[in-house]
């Protein structure tokens, strides 16, 4: 894939949850955040390793 056919959505930062799990987080717009979490429910090889979620922004991303 060449650079001209890619569209950048956001930058992602590695975070660690209170329970010690690592995940990626980045703002997509003022009203949504992209979270990439490890698929802890994976049972078979054909299932995804990670799952992406769009969620409302959290206070720390808005600077509150």
The answer, yes or no, to whether residue 6 has pLDDT greater than 80, is yes
Tally of domains within the chain: 1
pLDDT at 3: 78
For the entire predicted model, the pTM comes to: 0.76
Give the pLDDT confidence score for residue 55 in this predicted structure.
92
Range of the domain at 53: 3-62
Sign of CA dihedral 39, 42, 45, 51: negative
Give the model confidence (pLDDT) of 26-64 as tens digits.
Answer: 999 999 999 999 999 999 999 999 999 999 987 554 444
């Amino acid at each position: 894939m060449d650079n001209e056919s890619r569209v950048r959505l956001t930058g992602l930062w590695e975070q660690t949850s209170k329970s010690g799990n690592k995940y990626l987080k980045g703002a997509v717009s003022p009203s949504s955040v992209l979270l990439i979490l490890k698929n802890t429910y994976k049972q078979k090889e054909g299932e995804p390793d990670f799952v992406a979620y769009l969620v409302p922004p959290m206070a720390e991303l808005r600077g509150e």
